[in-house]
Amino acid sequence: MTKKIEISAPELEKEIVEFLTDRATESGGKHTEPGCNLVHGYSCVLATCHDNMPRATPLDFFSDGTLSVWITAEPGGKIANIMRNPNVSIGFYERLDHSVEQKSMQMWGTAEIVNLKNNPELFDEKWVQFGLDEATAGLLEENMAKGLIPEGPVEQIMTMIRSKINMLKITPTKVALLCMRPDALPQKKMWEEGRAFMNKLSA
């Protein structure tokens, strides 16, 4: 039996932000040697749809301390889908382990494409905040050292890469946060457009 109880929206919003922040990929600071220096978190799965054809893509995600989720994306199917239909869903999860308390989350919302052409200030702000400048430089140096790409001016190549990358800002309209507990029944909390509820399962 499920009982729906209204709970504090600000408290659930704080819990959602903490969930995202704890699992998101983060900046690794100044890179001191070749290679990606991002502190990688959990992956998410971004679901887009067009013409009744769904597409699910595993991706890194970033958190800016709000309810929004940020994802970097090269041109491709997901971008094409979002341009036609900005409604998306994201799944956040980890390997299931019934012996410990675990949380997973579903998010529904709208995706905004941010790039150097349509919003250069916001793009630059998030690019630096998430450590992508340093990570890109480190990856270029590593691939050049391995002979995987021709050596060249790193700054010039980075400028070219940045011009082709999109950042996706996912603004949620609905969030479901599920807590699985080893010694208690599951607990599901729902946030939707500023209101919050808890679906409490009872025996």
Contacts of 183 (CB under 8 A, 6+ apart): none
| 190: pLDDT strictly greater than 60 | yes
For residue 158, how far is the Cα from the chain centroid?
Answer: 22
Q: In whole numbers, what is the pLDDT of the chain averaged over residues?
A: 92
> For residues 36 and 138, is the Cβ–Cβ distance under 8 A?
yes
pLDDT, tens digit, 9 for 90 and up, residues 113-141: 999 999 999 999 999 999 999 999 999 88
In terms of Cα–Cα distance, which of 32, 102, 21, 23 is closest to 65?
21
Of 36 and 2, more confident: 36
| 70: pLDDT strictly greater than 90 | yes
Kindly provide the residue ranges of all beta strands, DSSP E only, lying in the chain, ordered along the sequence: 2-7, 44-50, 53-59, 62-63, 69-73, 87-92, 102-114, 166-180, 187-192, 195-201
| 203: pLDDT strictly greater than 70 | no
> For residues 47 and 28, is the Cβ–Cβ distance under 8 A?
no
Residue 3 has a pLDDT of 77
Confidence of residue 1 (pLDDT cuts 50, 70, 90): low
Name the pTM for this structure.
Answer: 0.91
Domains and CATH numbers, the chain: 2-201 (2.30.110.10)
Length, in residues, of the chain: 203
Rounded Cα gap, residues 166 and 154, in angstroms: 20
Confidence of residue 199 (pLDDT cuts 50, 70, 90): confident
Write the burial class of residue 33 (CB in 10 Å: 0-12 exposed, 13-18 middle, 19+ buried): exposed
Proportion of the chain above pLDDT 70, given as a percent: 98
